[in-house]
Structure 1
Amino acid sequence: MRITYIHQHFKTPAMAGGTRSYEFARRLVEHGHEVHVITGHPDGDRTRISTESGIVVHWLPVNYDNSMTYGRRLWSFFDFVRRAAAVAGRLRHDLVFATSTPLTVAIPGAYAALRRRVPMVLEVRDVWPETPIALGALRSPPSRWAALRLEAWAYRRAARVIALSPGMAESIQRRFPDVTVTVVPNSSDRALFAGADRAGEEVRRRTPWLGDRPLVLYAGTLGRANGVDYLVRMAARLADRDPDVRVVILGDGMMRDQIRDLAAELGVLDRNLFMLGPVPKSEVVAFFGACDLAVSAFVNIPELRNNSPNKVFDAFAAGRPVAVTHGGWIADLIAANAAGLVLPPDDPEGAAAAVAAFVRDGAAMTGAREAASALGRDRFDRDLLFQDFERVLTEARRAPRPRRTRRPHRAGRRTVRRAGR
């Protein structure tokens, strides 16, 4: 198949951020498909094209970063819609694949699919607009109305929908029962993390403040939804309970300055809590290899419990236990498999006690590592989940093609319809 793959936030392993789209697109190429990715990139003032592992990538000059305000993000989303539609409309393809966030990617996806009369598959990485409404990003009634209309419009124009968690799929099917939804969660790239232990040892050797001390790692976005201030408050309790435990926050986002200020205020910054900037995926491997416990953090609201955080599956790939600060399917998975900790929401003191006890319990750590590794191997291996992903695309390719309605040509006050030939 010739596939146009639209993802505003596409990343290669040399860049900071999740690489799900890169890894799936690369595997599509290896299976004989032709893949064109359309994405945004802030560098330069014109579109450039490169080839990454056989993927033809169209880099559009659209600025975006995690520190942007909601207003600037919306501007970026619609700038990408305009530019992506122009590029996608020129490409010849057998199928269009559009992946959120944001859900506005469905607009150029549906346009390109209709133009070539081919199917579109839509991938939903969070339930939108439920999440931005819950976080206060969409406050006015008109913005919420428009977002809900866009959601309904997008789902009804998709031949298939891929959701990243069972809860996302259930939410979509409850509200849109005619939509065919398949769950393909984020996955564990075990090949990428095969050398994590060795790389982690090197990180510990070259980092004097770490050495052989226990390490708790958060690697991800520092946004309002993530509630990373919880980890800062936990670190403050750990400083009194077990001061040798190190907490590392690796990443960037709009809340970075506030988190740093809080850490300085509580006296833990560069004492037992260390904030590092975003690093390429290839370097993230080393930090997961060095850590004893990886953390997935979100604020405690129901709309975020269906997320499928990359960091959880990276931890599984590295064979590392996971602690979650929220409920939902990931928390249930961790608890059912004894693969880490479910920390008490809104209780940093209780979290500090649980973490301090866990990282000093050799038997519990060994068992949790084995359980995490088994989850990455048996349930979330990227090669296994890619088979489900490719099957959805193949099935969608055989789905009925969308019809393109011809508009009548008007001459004066008469309507003249073009005769079929």
Structure 2
Amino acid sequence: MRRETVDGIRVVRIPIYAAANKAFFKRVLNYSSFWLSASMFGPFLTERPDVVVGTSPQFLTAVAALWLARLKRVPFVFEVRDLWPRSIVEVGAMKANSPAIRVLEKIERFLYRSADHIVPVTDSFVGEIAAHGVPVEKMSVITNGVDLDLFRPRPRDEARARLQLPAGTLVTYAGTHGMAHGLDLVLETAKRLANDAVSFLLVGEGAEKARLKERASAEKIGNVIFWDQQPRDRLAHVYAASDLCLVVLRDLPLFRTVIPSKIFEFMGAGRPILSTVDGESRGIIERSGAGVFSPPENRDALVQAIRDLARDPQRLAAMGSRGREFVERNYARPALAGRYLDVLGRVAHALPEPR
């Protein structure tokens, strides 16, 4: 058990079984241990709040939050950042008719019914949640945003030299290396561009990373660099060093409803985006003029898009500038935090004080 203060916020860290995002059963133990620890120690380690927020994924975090909210007799707000368990099924991690998925679906419906308010992070999630019988007026969309002070335009060459990254066109993917992302597409694209002075930097962790590194080594894909997960302040310099930032997901219907949070960081950094994510995310990128869309899981299209963009640095610079202007107007974190506080205030005052 450890207490600390982070940016003026009191944080209580509770004991859990720590596991990397790799082995399935270890992850289940990790999730379960937090649920048990938060449910057991939470009532004694926290004062009575105005509202309790539980975020998903994963569900057991939200279940613990609901338990604490009922014990403290305050409203429970359910924040939905991914559509579990549908996303688990669509990426092929589990079968739709498995007993575990049926249990998760029951937990999903229970949380939707029990929440005093629901905060999805995309507009598309509203329709998905409403299909479970949840009234639309019970939901308020608060999207992800960006820290514009941290993620800001910086000189590319200075960042490139600081990080000792190769010359030429640098294409960066930063995020989870998981089943949902289909990063084999990036390796195949890199092979095709091996003679084009294009390098790829893959930053992050995930269940697929070891296999991807083994494949790159076995196939001698020399223009791909793998870095471990980086601190956010260093990540800002990684973006600055990049000519083009990738947003990649597999071609699944569910992913048309998501907005990868990295797109806002890329825009904040003034870097152009090449995305294979259709739907709501594509709409944001195209409205902003901050990047271009390439069809998902289409290697030939991705190769051609990178070649075209690499030959046009002025176009890349213009997309980066438009992206920065767009997030300044629409996705600055303080403005989104203010909207969230308004929602929490309304929810907190909707219930009478306990006697």
Fold conserved (TM > 0.5)?
yes
The match for 2:201 is: 248
The match for 1:96 is: 52
- Structure 1 residue runs of 5 or longer lacking an equivalent are 1-46, 405-421
| Structure 1 residue 339 displacement after superposition | 1.6
The match for 2:29 is: 75
The match for 1:409 is: none
The match for 1:109 is: 65
User: CA RMSD of the aligned region, Å?
Assistant: 2.0
Q: Work out whether 1:371 is the aligned partner of 2:322.
A: yes
The match for 1:415 is: none
| 1:144 maps to which of 87, 93, 101 | 101
How has the CA–CA distance of structure 1 residues 345 and 286 changed in structure 2, closer, same or farther, with 3 Å as cutoff? Answer: same
Q: Work out whether 1:264 is the aligned partner of 2:220.
A: no
The match for 2:41 is: 87
Cα deviation, 1:296-344, whole Å, max 9, x if unaligned, reads 1111111122223221111011111111122121112222333212112
- Preserved contact between residue 117 and residue 401 of structure 1 (Cα < 8 Å): no
- Structure 2 residue runs of 5 or longer lacking an equivalent are none
Q: Work out whether 1:166 is the aligned partner of 2:119.
A: no
Cα deviation, 1:94-123, whole Å, max 9, x if unaligned, reads 211111220221211111111111001111
- Preserved contact between residue 272 and residue 317 of structure 2 (Cα < 8 Å): no
Larger displacement relative to structure 2 (164-173 or 57-66):
57-66
Q: Work out whether 1:186 is the aligned partner of 2:144.
A: yes
| 2:82 maps to which of 126, 137, 161 | 126
Q: What is the distance in 1 between the residues matched to 2:164 and 2:82?
A: 39
Q: Secondary structure at the match of 2:295?
A: coil
Identity value in percent: 26
How has the CA–CA distance of structure 1 residues 64 and 301 changed in structure 2, closer, same or farther, with 3 Å as cutoff? Answer: farther
Q: What is the distance in 1 between the residues matched to 2:324 and 2:163?
A: 26
The structure number with the bigger radius of gyration is: 1
Cα deviation, 1:354-391, whole Å, max 9, x if unaligned, reads 11111221332122112211221111111111111111
Cα deviation, 1:247-284, whole Å, max 9, x if unaligned, reads 1001111111111122123322xx32111111111110
Cα deviation, 1:9-60, whole Å, max 9, x if unaligned, reads xxxxxxxxxxxxxxxxxxxxxxxxxxxxxxxxxxxxxx11111111111112
- Preserved contact between residue 85 and residue 111 of structure 1 (Cα < 8 Å): yes
- Preserved contact between residue 65 and residue 253 of structure 1 (Cα < 8 Å): no
Q: What is the distance in 2 between the residues matched to 1:136 and 1:191?
A: 38
Structure (1 or 2) with the greater helix fraction? 2
TM-score between the two structures when normalised by the length of structure 1: 0.79
Q: What is the distance in 1 between the residues matched to 2:63 and 2:13?
A: 18
Q: What is the distance in 2 between the residues matched to 1:375 and 1:71?
A: 42
Aligned residues: 351
Q: What is the distance in 1 between the residues matched to 2:126 and 2:72?
A: 28
What is the identity, as a one-letter code, of the residue corresponding to 1:183? V
The match for 1:215 is: 170
Q: Secondary structure at the match of 2:131?
A: helix
Q: What is the distance in 2 between the residues matched to 1:352 and 1:110?
A: 47
| Structure 1 residue 401 displacement after superposition | 5.7
How has the CA–CA distance of structure 1 residues 181 and 64 changed in structure 2, closer, same or farther, with 3 Å as cutoff? Answer: farther
Q: What is the distance in 1 between the residues matched to 2:200 and 2:284?
A: 24
The residue correspondences of 1:258-337 to structure 2 (distance < 5 A) are 258-268=211-221, 271-337=222-288
Q: What is the distance in 1 between the residues matched to 2:37 and 2:352?
A: 25
How has the CA–CA distance of structure 1 residues 207 and 380 changed in structure 2, closer, same or farther, with 3 Å as cutoff? Answer: closer
Q: Secondary structure at the match of 1:341?
A: strand
| Structure 1 residue 64 displacement after superposition | 4.0
How has the CA–CA distance of structure 1 residues 313 and 63 changed in structure 2, closer, same or farther, with 3 Å as cutoff? Answer: farther
| Structure 1 residue 137 displacement after superposition | 2.9
Q: What is the distance in 2 between the residues matched to 1:368 and 1:209?
A: 23
| Structure 1 residue 232 displacement after superposition | 0.9
Q: Secondary structure at the match of 1:183?
A: coil
What is the identity, as a one-letter code, of the residue corresponding to 2:70? L
How has the CA–CA distance of structure 1 residues 79 and 208 changed in structure 2, closer, same or farther, with 3 Å as cutoff? Answer: closer
Larger displacement relative to structure 2 (219-228 or 136-145):
136-145
Q: Secondary structure at the match of 2:284?
A: helix
